[in-house]
Chains A and B, each alone.
Chain A
């Protein structure tokens, strides 16, 4: 049985080489992973294309504590990429995302903030979070969050999404560590425009890269 296999030389979850483990080896330690992440709190700044998809992925893998922030309502134009459904149109994104996450895993705790984040509120809202996922749409908001997080909490991981509009260009999408705490997922260059709309596949790739990196970093904390 896979559960009873032992792997010689493997020192347990949290090792730097964790990400290179095969799926088979990962399965052996799945219970350990869930244990390790069960007390971690993830902050998600923005519940649109990046935030909704990243949050759903993390809810599925067993993250138990979330802080969600968004001020917006669900619009029909959001359905081409955001993890919402037609019956949720016109409702608040931050609440409906929590509903969808709880539909996957009822055993999670979600703190919802229906507000537009400002530098003053970032400290109060995300203070308890072990890691923050930046999932805003505007460059201005991304800058505000990055500068505020770097100033307030040196070392607290911030995973940003930069450059995910359009179609194709899979090979351009990457994950880079910018400094000691800021990580960037995306192609870093493709801005939203009339001929470069944000669409489910590419936005979803970047959102899931953010979730994947969040999981990897949490296992090392």
Chain B
């Protein structure tokens, strides 16, 4: 499926992945993230249930300590 991931078109060789599956597929290793699908916030405990479909706009922000 084709999606927009962090403002960049991405071709994913799978259909209907959950947000967590997409994160593993992309090998995103940061422990803490903020995620949105089609501009809707997807909290940590919702990432197994929210499915990313063809054409969806996914935004993933990596959080690291320091400040």
* Residues of A bordering B, CB below 8 Å: 46, 48-51, 134-140, 142-143, 146-147, 150-151, 161-165, 178-180, 182, 184, 186, 188-192, 198, 203
Contacts and interface: CB of A to CB of B under 8 A. Distances in A.
A73 to B, nearest CB: 17
Contacts of A184: 61
Nearest to B43: A147
B8 interface: no
Given A137-B67, A179-B39, 17 more contacts: A46-B67, A51-B67, A134-B67, A135-B67, A137-B66, A146-B34, A146-B61, A150-B41, A162-B61, A164-B67, A178-B61, A188-B64, A189-B62, A189-B64, A190-B64, A191-B66, A198-B66
Interface of B: 31-34, 36, 39, 41, 43-44, 59, 61-67
B50 to A, nearest CB: 14
A143 B66 contact: no
Contacts, number: 74
B27 to A, nearest CB: 15
Sort A-B residue pairs by CB-CB distance and give the 7 closest, nearest first: A191-B64, A139-B63, A139-B32, A137-B67, A192-B66, A50-B67, A142-B63
A147 B33 CA distance: 10
A177 B53 CA distance: 24
A191 B44 CA distance: 21
Given A150-B41, A179-B39, A180-B39, A143 B65 contact: no
A61 to B, nearest CB: 21
Nearest to B31: A139
B64 A182 contact: no
